[in-house]
A and B are shown apart, each in its own frame.
Chain A
Amino acid sequence: MKKMMTKIAMGLGLSIALVACTKDEETIVIPVSAITVKDLAADTVTGLGLDGRPQSAGTTTYYSLVDNKVVASTDAASTKWDIAFSSTKILINGGTSGPGIGGAFVYVGLFDALKTIPADSNFSTDNSNAASFAIPLGSGKAWYTYDGLTTLVSPIAGRVLVIRTATGKFAKIEIISYYKGGVTLPASASVNDKLFKQRYYTFRYAYQPNGSKTF
């Protein structure tokens, strides 16, 4: 078992190294520069349960879009974070999820093409049911689809998460990948890879600190 874990770790190291070579250069045209966050762990899998479902500690990873860094979970009840991740669930600091005034909606279109958030946009806030969160949880509902045959989570093309931060500023996010390495695994990937490489978010975002809805 130990040997196997070592092998997996080596594999992961290799894939990270590969990704590091293909750094994105996506920052020129946008006035507010886009930032890419790589392999953000979000309640990663520790093993396989007897029920056949992936096991994990049930943690949530809190993130500050303002500071571009992870916020300690001890600050969950503060406005230091804007968005949080726990497996496929995305929380926004507001409503039932936090004390902030955050909200969000899913924009259908391209990240770069969203220059100004439409005036009639309707930001939702999190409530008690994850399926009707600001970013609703579920395959095909917001940012991903889950395929029961390949057991892969794939970000839906052309979806931008438009975020109102905990303090009322605006940001836009495109989720790139749910798998370690920043690329969705191929359908042919091993069961082990599909299990242990999931729940690593790679996304790009643009944050407008001046409070306007224009990026």
Chain B
Amino acid sequence: MKKINCLILFFGLLQTAQLSAQSRFVKDTLDANGDSVVVTATRTERKLSNLTVPVTIINAKTIQQNGSLRLTDILKEQTGINLTSGFGAGIQLQGLNPDYTIILINGEPLVGRTAGVLDLNRIALGNIKKIEIVKGPSSSLYGSEAMAGVINIITDASMGSPMTVGLRYGTYNTVDANLETKLQTKNFQYQGFINSYHTDGYSIRPNSNSRVRTPIERYSTTQQIKWELSSKTNFVLNTRFTNEQIQNEIAVSNNGVTIYSIGKENIKDLNASASLNHRFSKNLKTSLRTYTTTYDALQNLLTINGLPYRDVLNHNFKRIENQTDLDLNKKIQAVFGIGAVWEGVKSSRYDSEKLRKQNDIQYAFTQWEWKASEKFTLIGGVRFDKNTQFASAYSPKLSMLYKLNPQHQFRLSIGQGFKAPDFRQLFLDFTNAAAGSYSVFGSAQAQQVIARLDALGQIGNLFPNYNLLKALKPEYSNGMHFTWDWKINPSSALSLQLFRNDIKNLIESQQVGTYISGAQIFSYLNIGRAFTTGFEVEGQHKFNANWSMNGGYQYLRTGDKDQIAAIRSGTVYTKNSQGYSRLMKLNEYVGLPNTSTHKLQVKINYNSPKGYYLNVRAIYRSRWAVNNNNGNEVFDNGDVFASGYVAINSAAGKSFKNGVIIQGGIDNISNYIDAANLPNLPGRTFYTSIKYELQKINKNKIK
């Protein structure tokens, strides 16, 4: 029985758990370099210390002790990750926009992006076992979108208490309630999770009724069933359903006129996956997986002048996939995969909400791992995606691990990632009557649509980049990551990562003109060539049995290569303080907008043997460019920046022996507010929570 319990831990990860594997625990340890098992990096189970690519693991205990409710809460405290605002809360990984990071739940992708952003507030953390973050192109395994990296949220929680309840209350009437139940018999495991979240939202603009974060009611539930058909075959079923009701009261000021809109927005998000896993022999296993997901968003608003505003988005994604793992010998292990995707979007934001825009993909991938010696491992992989809408894509990747000695490990990975232009970038035909009447037009039809509006006399100005609009090309990225892990002593560790991503055909939304009213018109352009490069340093130190500290710093440089070439050639101008034009120098260039040069976070932890804990987390992000104000379309020191800031969060609590955990916390202690640039950062907020884990009942009773 015990053995099975341990094994259960790994199911649901990618449903590729080795049934006959030696049982082992994933320890909830603050030492992320502990020998945890990781699935995201190679799509097979590997010990963290044997991986050839850098992976960050956030475990359940960290999530719980940080008081993190939603996925964004925990991700923004990670090295190299910044939260973005606008169209929900997304994440920027190593300087790359939210659309370049694929978000997986138990290995299956989430859909339902607005303007390329998946609102990660959708994901409740109550039942999450751990989060794995792989930085660097991973398209060789995951296809499009895995350009900056992969975030895999693993909800498996078959271990532990048969029932857990949690309740949290905080500022702005934010109430979060969880119920998790588990049932285990010899061949059958069930886990169910229900989360209810409510917030009144908040307004951080002075003298304004409109809420930066709108009132939300959100329910989500996940179910997981694992059934062992035989000692060699198992079946895993995962479902997840989220329903959220957003109360909108939008006040938009445009040229001094304020329009109020009231209404409701409803979002339904359903995911279901089933997998059948069979082990033929010690060296051969296969799994057949199907996945289907639908994302439905409906926004019904009534503007104060009586005009209704309706917005519908329906995105579905169906996939079937087979993955076979073959161990040729002790040194060479191979993975083969083949699959097909049917993906479609219907939206009132396109020319007709009744027409589904469809894209089908067929793909195959393989990965070969060669364990040359105890010290050296080499992995090569390639994936081929055949796309009905776009050209095929090859995504190769090569990575290696060299263990110099137990103290020093070196990793190097080189890979190519890609991202096909998505539906919105091509077909969007959207005017937000509720919020200032701005429009966004997909690149494929922007010129047509704008020309039609121009003929009707509705266009005020067109920017020069309007003439650059043309059919979008897929984006490609070549990424290189080098990591040095140094275990200084049993209580201290340090790691250094150098990274560089070179991107071609980068697609970004840009304003291409204005209406007569002054409202903005946006479209999408292949900005050309860009790069993000820099380094990350992460360290942790245990002072004694109770106190520990960890932290991370990212230094980031980004740039548009064409802009840099133009600056070098002496054709980019800027203004001096008196308003006279002069040539811009390269050292004045600040790179891509919304990217910060420095990000630092430090966390101090206290854990007593009696169950008391305390942590203080500080996050610093340096300034980032938000607006160009000297007309040169290149961001330099003379442009508009959001100021750098520090946010300090703290949580403290106690775990009792009877399974009760009480906790209290303060977020944003220094009450830093920047309503325009950081709408997702409310002022100082407080919360308190209680959680109860029913202590284990004798298993025989369940039987």
Contacts and interface: CB of A to CB of B under 8 A. Distances in A.
In this complex, the member of B254, B572, B631 whose beta carbon has the largest number of chain A beta carbons within 10 angstroms is B631
B461 interface: yes
Interface stretch (B309-317, B399-407, B573-581): B573-581
A177 B579 contact: yes
B351 to A, nearest CB: 24
Contact of A110 (B254, B583, B630): B583
A140 interface: yes
Nearest to A34: B580
Contacts of A151: 255, 518
Contacts of B571: 108
A138 B461 contact: yes
Contacts of B519: 148
A166 interface: no
| Chain A facing B: main interface SS | loop
A159 B582 CA distance: 10
B640 A187 contact: yes
B629 A152 contact: yes
A interface, how many residues as a size bin?
35 or more
A61 interface: no
In this complex, the member of B580, B632, B640 whose beta carbon has the largest number of chain A beta carbons within 10 angstroms is B580
Contact of B464 (A140, A144, A146): A140
Interface residues of B, number: 37
Nearest to A186: B640
B514 interface: yes
Interface string B621-648: 0000001111110000000100000000
Nearest to A187: B640
A107 B520 CA distance: 27
A147 B257 contact: no
Contacts of A75: none
Contacts of A157: 573-575, 581-582, 584, 630-632
Interface string A150-165: 1110111111000000
A156 B630 contact: yes
B464 A202 contact: no
A207 B584 CA distance: 27
Contact of A140 (B257, B572, B583, B631): B631
A16 B517 CA distance: 31
Given A110-B573, A138-B462, A156 B632 contact: yes
Given A148-B514, A150-B629, A22 B578 contact: yes
Interface in A129-154: 131, 137-141, 144-152, 154
A205 to B, nearest CB: 13
Contacts of A159: 581, 631
Nearest to B518: A148
A195 B256 contact: yes
In this complex, the member of A140, A156, A176, A195 whose beta carbon has the largest number of chain B beta carbons within 10 angstroms is A140
Nearest to B572: A158
A77 interface: no
Contacts of B631: 140, 144-145, 154-157, 159
A102 interface: no
A85 interface: no
A145 B511 CA distance: 11
Contacts of B461: 131, 137-141, 146
Nearest to B463: A140
B578 A24 contact: yes
Interface in A5-53: 22, 24, 26, 48, 50-53
B460 interface: yes
Contact of A146 (B254, B514, B575, B581): B514
Given A138-B461, A148-B514, A183 B581 contact: no
Contacts of B584: 157
Contacts of A53: 255, 517-518
26 contacts: A51-B255, A51-B257, A131-B461, A139-B460, A139-B463, A139-B513, A139-B514, A140-B464, A141-B461, A145-B463, A145-B631, A146-B461, A146-B514, A147-B629, A148-B438, A149-B627, A150-B627, A151-B255, A151-B518, A157-B575, A158-B572, A159-B581, A174-B581, A176-B578, A184-B629, A187-B640
Interface of B: 254-257, 438, 460-465, 511, 513-514, 517-520, 571-575, 578-584, 627-632, 640
Sorted nearest first, the 3 A-B pairs with minimum C-beta distance are A158-B573, A156-B631, A52-B257
